[in-house]
Amino acid sequence: MQVKKTVVFADVCDSTSLFERLGNERARALIKDMLERLSGQTRLYGGVVVKSLGDGMFSSFDKADDAVSYAMGAQRYAESAEDAPELRVGLVEGGVIIEEGDLFGDAVNVAARLSDLAGKGQILTTVETITVVKVEKEVDTRPLGPRQVKGRREPLEVVEILWEEEQKAYTSLRFTPMMQDVLKRVIRLRWEDKTAELSSGGEEYHITLGRSEENTVQVDNPEASRRHATIELRNRNFYLIDHSTNGSYVSAPDGSAIPVRREAFLLTGAGDIGLGMVPNPGAANLISYSILEGADLGATA
């Protein structure tokens, strides 16, 4: 079972050169002191230390706000404390699986990659994550644009969280309610006389489709499995993930049907989805979808 968490990787920068410059004992003492500080700060902001990583800390938080406060506090301590090593931080909100105290999932992988991508004193996150941080925190940010991250096919829209006044001399972006609407993406589903939505700024990260009443989208179709498919939000994109025996089909702009079987398929624009059947126009049990963003969100479903 997945749960939503904000995961943070905080790593000491250039630990190898730190040992070379200061010697083993002094460098190790400074890193140990920093990890103890990070552990205390994690608990202070309501988080959980998942594990220590030698020269870094992997933590998780129920609220993105608390994770951002922790990351900013860690960077301020690293800057102000005498001889404290510099930090680089990656921070992502998303669905994770918890097993025996450890966390797994796309959000964990992306946060770790963002930490690797960050420079000294940086806190990097994604556009999707920063839009769920409450506006009253007045977090200043700097968009860094799309960045290719190891292990992912699609580039990530990376954002730097600015935590000191000197950084704010750069062109920064404060995420107001209007800006959140501009960046927001929604997939709207319609079947029979029902509708459902999944939003990049919402609390949910997936919609389930199938024959069972437990699904968000229930269809009375004998070709559909009880838990046939999931539409999942990943980095502001929506994917149809098929779990079924008979497969799923997505209508293409040229009128053909694209089969999706036990894999993830990126949904774009608008179209129809058939569970275990080709989505021919006018057929029963079709699920129509449309993806909207920015000004289009005022459109009628």
Q: Give span(s): CATH 2.60.200.20, the chain.
A: 184-298
Instruction: List, for residues 91-101, the tens digit of each pLDDT value.
Output: 999 989 998 88
Instruction: Measure the CA–CA gap between 176 and 142, rounded to whole angstroms.
Output: 14
Q: Enter the CATH code of domain 184-298.
A: 2.60.200.20
Structure tokens, 265: 């398929």
Instruction: Measure the CA–CA gap between 46 and 258, rounded to whole angstroms.
Output: 45
Instruction: List, for residues 279-294, the tens digit of each pLDDT value.
Output: 988 888 899 999 987 6
State the CATH architecture for 2-180: 2-Layer Sandwich (3.30)
Q: Is 221's pLDDT higher than 80?
A: yes
Task: Give the per-residue pLDDT at 296.
Answer: 58
Pair 240, 260: CB distance under 8 Å: yes
- What mean pLDDT comes out for the span 146-161? 80
Task: Give the per-residue pLDDT at 136.
Answer: 42
DSSP of 77-135: HHHHSTTPPPEEEEEEEEEEEEETTEEESHHHHHHHHHHHH--TT-EEEEHHHHTTS-G
Task: Give the per-residue pLDDT at 250.
Answer: 95
Question: What are 60's strand-pairing partners?
Answer: 7, 48
Task: Give the per-residue pLDDT at 171.
Answer: 47
Q: How far is CA 1 from CA 99, 212, 245, 257, in A?
A: 10, 18, 21, 31
Task: Give the per-residue pLDDT at 32.
Answer: 87
Instruction: List, for residues 173-214, the tens digit of each pLDDT value.
Output: 555 544 555 557 899 999 988 999 988 766 677 899 999 998
**Mean per-residue pLDDT of the chain:** 84
Instruction: Measure the CA–CA gap between 270 and 90, rounded to whole angstroms.
Output: 33
Q: Is 135's pLDDT higher than 50?
A: no
Task: Give the per-residue pLDDT at 119.
Answer: 87
Q: Give span(s): CATH 3.30.70.1230, the chain.
A: 2-180
Q: Is 168's pLDDT higher than 60?
A: no
Instruction: List, for residues 246-269, the tens digit of each pLDDT value.
Output: 999 999 877 889 999 988 898 988
End-to-end Cα spacing for the chain: 30
Dihedral angle, C-alpha 22, 25, 28, 33, nearest 10 °: -100
49 pLDDT tier (thresholds 50, 70, 90):
very high
Q: Is 300's pLDDT higher than 50?
A: no
Task: Give the per-residue pLDDT at 66.
Answer: 92
Minimal CA–CA distance to 135: which of 191, 90, 45, 68? 68
Q: Is 139's pLDDT higher than 50?
A: yes
164 pLDDT tier (thresholds 50, 70, 90):
confident
